[in-house]
Structures are given as structure tokens and as C-alpha cells.
């Protein structure tokens, strides 16, 4: 009986707390001039953000690849790279916790334009790798946020194997 | 002993209240931090980014006011378990997400050691929450007699 009473009181307070939270969240969001849309295409938001930070679109990357004016770096795992990658791309799997990564970067030329990609908009490795590379003195490095998925979607050539 | 528990409640509640302020002030930046965790589908990112800070705020205040039921503490404990699971999951799969716990500032990804620090801090917070919840349960039982 006592347990039941405690449970019902707790459940009531849980509902009140969550109700107030919902009320505040909905209320303030509708009153704010910069309120968030409840339904947002976050992939599109992410793409626009990346492009505003100097990333390039897939068609631009394709143009660079065709004119051989950039070196493509694949930040995905070696396994994903072997399954399919941009022709002539170099595999450099990005692991933010790998402390030997700086040494691996040393193998890349600093004067050429480097285009880093991973899977697609769901994958943040390319953007993070570009940030790390820029911090380590690479000035000519950009990411291709739509990644290998975007590359395959425009039916650009793909190479399989290492 | 009651002073000890009162201090525990204040620490627990205040931690969540402080953590909520920057998220409430910068909902777009917090939504981006939620997106960075790569755990939720797109349709849940905005609702979670808008609702979560207010749950932290309301429950944090509720816990500090020393109410007679464990409702607020239970929600905070549940939230802490979710945070621990999310951070642990991302460490395990090699994603270095900025946690967005106390600040929504767009920092580059954190190092594993920093993410582990966040994880240990959350485990400490969970233990504190469980302690306060146990005391809440005892208090609510006594007050019902």
C-alpha cells in the first residue's frame, strides 16, 4: 500500500517535471527569434556548414580529380578503402586517438592541394582530419563532406582493392 | 547526516542547472553537438536539443529544493546513464565528439583522455545521484507512514 502510494506520487511528479520541461522548451523556442525548426534536414545543415568552412562540393571534387589538380585522401578504414575508393586516392585512415597520426601526415606533400573524404555527411572524420592537418601546417587541404557516398551518387569512377 | 545529504543534493542539482544554461542560451549549437554524437535520427535532434536542457534545469531545481519524492533525482540519474552510454559508445567506435556537456562552444573533437575524463566525471555524478535517490526513497517512505 505504502509502496503504491510512493510510486503514484513519484509518477505524478515525474509527469509534472516533464510537462514543465516540455512547456518551457516549446514556449521559449516559439518566442525566440532564432528558434529552431522542429523538423530540420540536419544533413543539409551539416553540408551548408561544411561548405561555409571551405569544404568543396562533390562536382568540384570531380572536376579537380579529372584535371588531376588534387591528391585525394581517404580517411576511412583500410577495409572500406579496399571495397571501393576514388581512383588514385591514398588511404590514410583517421583515428583521432592514434598518436602516431602526425608521423603519417609527414608522408603527404604540403604544396599540393589535398582533398580529404570519408563516407559522407554522417561521417565527421574528413572534417576533423582537415582541422588537424591545418593545425599541423597544411594550408592546401579541404574536405569533401558528401564523401564516397556522394562520389558514387554522381556515378564517378570507382576503384576497388588496395 | 542530513547536512551531508543536503550538500549532495545541492551539488547534484546545481551541476545540472549550470550545465543547462549554455545549452538553453545556444540551442542551435547544442543541436549541432547532439548531431555530432551520431546516435539519434535527424527527426529527434531538435526535440532532444530543445527539451534536454529544460529537463536538466527543472529537475536540477527540483532536486535542490529537497522534495519528498525521488522523481527529479530519478530523471537526472537516467540522464546521466544515457550520457555515460553515449560517450562510452563513441569512445568505443573511435568518434571524438566534443561532449557539449557544460559548453556548446564548437571545439574540435576531444582527445580520448579528455573523453575518458568526461566519462569518469559522469560516473561520479551517477554515484552521487544514486546516493541522493536512495535517501529520497527512504525519506518518502518515512513521510508516508
Judged on CB neighbours under 10 Å (0-12, 13-18, 19+), A68 is exposed
pLDDT score recorded for residue B106: 46
Give the three-class secondary structure for A138: coil
List of chain B residues with pLDDT < 70: 1, 66-68, 94-113, 141-145
Pairing of strands A114-117, A71-74: parallel
Burial A35-61 (b: 16+ CB within 10 A, else e): ebeeebebeebbbebbeeeebbbbeeb
User: Looking at per-residue confidence, does A30 or B2 come out higher?
Assistant: A30
Rounded mean pLDDT of A16-44? 88
A103 pLDDT above the threshold of 60: yes
A35 pLDDT above the threshold of 50: yes
A143 pLDDT above the threshold of 90: yes
Q: Is A88 left (phi over 0), alpha (psi -120 to 50) or beta?
A: left
Q: How confident is the model at residue A25 (pLDDT cuts 50, 70, 90)?
A: very high
Provide the shortest C-alpha distance from residue A123 to chain B (in Å). Answer: 9
What the block records as the C-alpha cell of A107 is 608522408
pLDDT digits (tens, 9 = 90+) for B18-52: 999 999 998 888 888 888 787 888 888 889 999 99
A47 pLDDT above the threshold of 60: yes
Asked if B76 and B17 touch (Cβ cutoff 8 Å), the reply is no
Rounded mean pLDDT of A107-113? 88
Stretch (H or E) spanning B34: helix B27-36
pLDDT score recorded for residue B101: 62
Short-list A162, A82, A78, A74, CA closest to A119: A74
Asked if B58 and B78 touch (Cβ cutoff 8 Å), the reply is no
B95: nearest CA partner in chain A: A96
Burial B17-37 (b: 16+ CB within 10 A, else e): bebbebbbebbebbbbbbbbb
Using the Cβ of B70 and the Cβ atoms of chain A, whether some distance falls under 8 Å is answered with yes
pLDDT digits (tens, 9 = 90+) for A50-88: 888 889 999 999 999 999 999 999 998 888 899 899 999
> In the block, which residue shows the cell 575524463?
B117
d(CA B53, CA B96): 22
Residue B38 has its nearest CB partner, among A32, A38, A122, at A122
Q: Would the pTM count as exceeding 0.90? A: no
Give the three-class secondary structure for A90: strand
Q: Provide the mean pLDDT of chain A.
A: 87
Contacts 24+ apart (CB under 8 A), B116-122: B116/B91, B118/B87, B119/B84, B119/B87, B119/B88, B119/B91, B122/B80, B122/B83, B122/B84, B122/B87
Q: Which chain A residues have any C-beta within 8 angstroms of a chain B C-beta? A: 2, 5-6, 9-11, 13-14, 16-18, 20-22, 24-26, 28-29, 32, 34-43, 45-46, 49, 95-97, 122, 124, 128, 131-132
Residues sharing a CB contact under 8 Å with residue A11, sequence separation 6 or more, in sequence order = B71
pLDDT score recorded for residue A63: 95
Amino acid at each position: 500500500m505504502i509502496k503504491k502510494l510512493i510510486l503514484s506520487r513519484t509518477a505524478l511528479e515525474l509527469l509534472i517535471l516533464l510537462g514543465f520541461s516540455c512547456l518551457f522548451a516549446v514556449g521559449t523556442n516559439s518566442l525566440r527569434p532564432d528558434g529552431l525548426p522542429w523538423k530540420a534536414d540536419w544533413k543539409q545543415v551539416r553540408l551548408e556548414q561544411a561548405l561555409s568552412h571551405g569544404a568543396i562540393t562533390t562536382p568540384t571534387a570531380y572536376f579537380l580529380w579529372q584535371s588531376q589538380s588534387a591528391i585525394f585522401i581517404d580517411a576511412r578504414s583500410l577495409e572500406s578503402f579496399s571495397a571501393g575508393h576514388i581512383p588514385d586516392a591514398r588511404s590514410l585512415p583517421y583515428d583521432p586517438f592514434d598518436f602516431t597520426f602526425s608521423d603519417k601526415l609527414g608522408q603527404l606533400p604540403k604544396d599540393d592541394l589535398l582533398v580529404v573524404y570519408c563516407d559522407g555527411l554522417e561521417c565527421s572524420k574528413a572534417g576533423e582530419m582537415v582541422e588537424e592537418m591545418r593545425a599541423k601546417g597544411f594550408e592546401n587541404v579541404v574536405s569533401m563532406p558528401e564523401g564516397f557516398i556522394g562520389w558514387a551518387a554522381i556515378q564517378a569512377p570507382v576503384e576497388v582493392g588496395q | 547526516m542530513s547536512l551531508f545529504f543536503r550538500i549532495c543534493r545541492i551539488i547534484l542539482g546545481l551541476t545540472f542547472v549550470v550545465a543547462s544554461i549554455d545549452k538553453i542560451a545556444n540551442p542551435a549549437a547544442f543541436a549541432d553537438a547532439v548531431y555530432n554524437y551520431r546516435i539519434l535520427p535527424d527527426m529527434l535532434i531538435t526535440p532532444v536539443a530543445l527539451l534536454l536542457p529544460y529537463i536538466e534545469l527543472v529537475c536540477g531545481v527540483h532536486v535542490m529544493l529537497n522534495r519528498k519524492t525521488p522523481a527529479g533525482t530519478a530523471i537526472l540519474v537516467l540522464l546521466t546513464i544515457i550520457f555515460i552510454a553515449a560517450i562510452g559508445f563513441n569512445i568505443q567506435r573511435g568518434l571524438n565528439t566534443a561532449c557539449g556537456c557544460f559548453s556548446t562552444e564548437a571545439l574540435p573533437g576531444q582527445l580520448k583522455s579528455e573523453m575518458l575524463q568526461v566519462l569518469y566525471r559522469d560516473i561520479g555524478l551517477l554515484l552521487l545521484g544514486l546516493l541522493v535517490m536512495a535517501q529520497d526513497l527512504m525519506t518518502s517512505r518515512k513521510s508516508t507512514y
